[in-house]
Amino acid sequence: MIWTKRAGRGLVWLLLAVVVLLVLLCAFLWWRMEASVPQLEGELTGVAVSAPVTVARDAAGMPTITAATRADAAWALGFLHGQERFFQMDTLRRAAAGELGGLVGANGLKLDRVTRVHRFRARARLIVAGMAPEERALLNAYVAGVNRGLGSLKAAPFEYALLFRTPAAWRDEDTILTVFAMYMNLQPALPMREMDRARAMAKGGVALADLLYPLAGSLDAPIDGSRLPEVPLPAALKPLLAADLDEVAEGAPEAVVTGSNNWAVAGRLSSSGAALVANDMHLGLGVPSIWYRARLVVNGRPAVTGVTLPGAPLVVAGSNGRIAWGYTNSYIDTADAVVVQPDPDFADRYRTPDGGETIVRVEDQLCARDVCEPFVIEETIWGPVVGTDAFGRKLAMRWTAHERDAIRLSPSLALETAGSVAEAVAIAHKARIPQQNFTVGDSAGNIAWTIIGAIPARYGFNGQDAVSFADGSRGWRGILPPEATPVVMNPANGRIWTANSRVVGGAAHALLGDGGYDTGARAGRIRDRLLMKQRFTPEDFLSIQLDDVNVKHRWWQALLLRELEKRKGDAKLAALIAPVRDWGERAVPAATGYRFIGVFRDAAVKRYYRAWVGEPEKGGMRKSYAPSMGEVTLRRVLEARTPALLPAGDVSWDQFIDRALAEAMAELDAKAGGDITRFTWGAVGRAGVQHPLAKVIAPLGWVTDPRDVAVPGDRATVRAQAPGFGASERFAVSPGHETQALFQMGGGQAGNPRAPYYLAGHEAWVKGTPAPFLPGPARWTLTLQR
């Protein structure tokens, strides 16, 4: 009894100690947040600017920077980025350099092993060393501003306290690494398409590779109206052995496309008479947003307004009063897998057009905080060795990101002052950023599309499969010259649209290649909405951006309804007929039939690809070998239903459908107890906007994260949406008419929860409420001077 009382008192004291400790930790975190709130008002002296600079923030934290020179504006922007977004900048530079482990520990090593191979820090240093003096001076000003901003905080950003780390100063090369991080975000760090096709060829020859990884489909919606021929369905295929299927892991979704939407109409179709441009870039969503809004007024010139990327001194997308521009990921083919052919006479050498070369071994190390391990990188004349394919061939990667001038800041800066579409297109062809669909319109009503960024000048092959460059018959002749870059300017119908799918056909498509295009479902929906009207306002464009109709699911709904009708003797399946029939086409929270159609579709795609090429091992960087265009493959085989295309393990196509239905029903049972009325899209269609550390330190989310809510949209709708993924911003603007323009951004401007405008604008993004493109009246003003 005495022991029990003592144990009880001990437990009480232990619980009390835990509570006190938690209170102290919360108080400490609160203090760190308060100590790292940015300076909003007053005067900052000792600044390396040529004349006083004013920073006027509105109620949402959006600054208007008024400066005498662009370098002064860069210093001020760097100061704001350093004060408000340094932790996000730090993670970007580390992600590109393969140094995340040094910040977050062992959890970062998986990504570091992939990225360090590319040696982007060394490449960034070379790019900085090769900059023109004026470009370097502007970069130096920005870097100085970043470090002054960070150093002016009373304490480092609160995230460093949680990680028990100290932030390192920003360097010139780190800005280049920030842009390299966008390369990594938008393009694969490995030649995935070539490796996937090799895997398919090893299982069933070229015919299987062409079937599983198509280049064209019925959903294509290019702006030139072109059609690519579909490869005929194979008459026979060699399937995986049934025994192999038993070893395949279950339950991974197909690969997804990181993408965006943009479109424009000519001035004759807009309410203002100027071109009207819309852009929503689809990226990972978090707190704060990946973007930082800003308006720059330099030396009395027209202001440039838009989004900046913390870590870089540029306005990425927006309007300068004469042009408005935006981006979508192009998915052109920017990299190739080069088969490294061993020299038969020397074990450590490989063949090149100029004879044998020795593979260069670079001794490096990867660190998880302060514990390091050796890491060896093999380099060839074409690029680093990145692995082997299904045939056991060693592969090097030739990638435009490895070019000596892979990143140029000056052309992107020039867009801020460009006066016309023609001038902007010429600038885009000199720019070096991750290759994007560049859509631009001007105040005179002109519109254009082109590719911004370097395009490989291939010869001897089309880039779809890994090939050897050893005999000189295949390779790159450097980068495509500007005059050869495809352009569509002022099309007859006055409309341009892109959404990560193929944009052009013919010779232009042959030059650009296919780096993993999306199906064209979103692009087609945008096209159709644009063709419905002859006059557009920014509000009309916002309505298109919020469109949640899933065109891709129409085919699957018709198929599923037919299959359910055939099986209506099963009571559980019969109960699904009405909700599938009345699905409504829209990805809205209350939809039930919509969700089941998607689950059935995903099960069918997953089963088909799993049967032919297996799945990646669990816990790896990849989830599936199915491409976005796998949609095309499944439609074709399910329409043809020839025995030759039937996957191993199924004796008939009816059995294939039965098993896909069984997987879908299993999910319905697991998630809603078999009750379709509870199987709503809103249960999975969530915003999922979180601070990155809140994903591993859940209580932090109580302070940092907005309330998670169900939102309309899906990955295949114009309003692209999935938990933690979607439109990172939305804008619709006519250059010269910015006062009528609209803007939305999820996650907010501020990085610190104690900032007075934390999460400002997020609710408008969630609800799709129109919000102004321009900043509002100044709420806080900060002056920077020497």
Per-residue model confidence as pLDDT tens digits over 680-690: 999 999 999 99
Q: Do residues 22 and 165 share a domain?
A: yes
Q: Do residues 71 and 212 share a domain?
A: no
Residue 137 placed within a domain: yes
| pLDDT confidence band for 249 (50 / 70 / 90) | very low
Residue 671 placed within a domain: yes
Q: Do residues 621 and 643 share a domain?
A: yes
**Active-site residue, from 260, 270, 443, 624:** 260
SS3 664: helix
Record the tokens describing residue 385, joined without a space.
Answer: 């060795």
Torsion of CA 246, 252, 254, 260, to 10 degrees: -170
- Closest to 176 measured CA to CA, from 79, 286, 314: 314
| pLDDT confidence band for 1 (50 / 70 / 90) | low
What CATH code is carried by the domain that includes residue 576? 1.10.1400
What global pTM score does this model have? 0.94
Q: Do residues 153 and 52 share a domain?
A: yes
Share of the chain above pLDDT 90, in %: 90
- Of 637, 656, 683, which marks where a domain is finished? 683
Report pLDDT for 28. Answer: 76
Total domains, the chain: 2
Residue 414 placed within a domain: no
Look up 272 and say whether it is catalytic. no
Q: Do residues 15 and 160 share a domain?
A: yes
Per-residue model confidence as pLDDT tens digits over 730-783: 999 999 999 999 999 999 999 999 999 999 999 999 999 999 999 999 999 999
- Closest to 200 measured CA to CA, from 187, 191, 210: 210
Q: Do residues 133 and 173 share a domain?
A: yes
Report pLDDT for 248. Answer: 31
- Of 659, 683, 707, which marks where a domain is finished? 683
Q: Do residues 669 and 590 share a domain?
A: yes
Find the radius of gyration of the CA atoms of the chain. 27
Q: Do residues 19 and 142 share a domain?
A: yes
Residue 503 placed within a domain: no
pLDDT (average), residues 176-184: 97
Per-residue model confidence as pLDDT tens digits over 342-370: 999 888 899 999 999 999 999 999 999 88
pLDDT (average), residues 438-451: 99
The mean pLDDT value of the chain amounts to 94
Per-residue model confidence as pLDDT tens digits over 21-60: 667 667 778 888 999 999 999 999 999 999 999 999 999 9
Report pLDDT for 247. Answer: 32
- Of 665, 683, 701, which marks where a domain is finished? 683
pLDDT at 239 over 60: no
Q: Do residues 248 and 182 share a domain?
A: no
Q: Do residues 91 and 159 share a domain?
A: yes
Q: Do residues 21 and 132 share a domain?
A: yes
| pLDDT confidence band for 245 (50 / 70 / 90) | very low
Q: How far apart are CA 177 and CA 128, in angstroms?
A: 11
What backbone torsions phi and psi does residue 470 show, to the nearest 5 degrees? -65, -35
Residue 377: other Cβ atoms inside 10 A: 17
Q: Residue 316: in which H helix or E strand, if any?
A: strand 315-319
pLDDT at 437 over 50: yes
Name the residue with higher pLDDT: 251 or 665: 665
Q: Name the E strands within 690-741.
A: 721-722, 725-727, 730-733
- 713 contacts 585 by C-beta, under 8 angstroms: no
Share of the chain above pLDDT 70, in %: 95
Q: Do residues 647 and 582 share a domain?
A: yes
Residue 616 placed within a domain: yes
Annotated binding site for Ca(2+): 194, 333, 336
pLDDT (average), residues 603-621: 88
Residue 127 placed within a domain: yes
What is the extent of the structural domain holding 132?
Answer: 7-58+67-102+121-186
Report pLDDT for 322. Answer: 99
241: amino acid identity, one letter:
L
Record the tokens describing residue 618, joined without a space.
Answer: 């669990």
Report pLDDT for 21. Answer: 66
Record the tokens describing residue 383, joined without a space.
Answer: 């690029």
Residue 88 placed within a domain: yes
Q: Do you know the residue count of the chain?
A: 786
Q: How far is CA 438 from the centre of its chain?
A: 16
Report pLDDT for 257. Answer: 53
Residue 568 placed within a domain: yes
Record the tokens describing residue 358, joined without a space.
Answer: 């020795």
pLDDT (average), residues 212-232: 94
Annotated binding site: 194, 333, 336
Report pLDDT for 550. Answer: 98
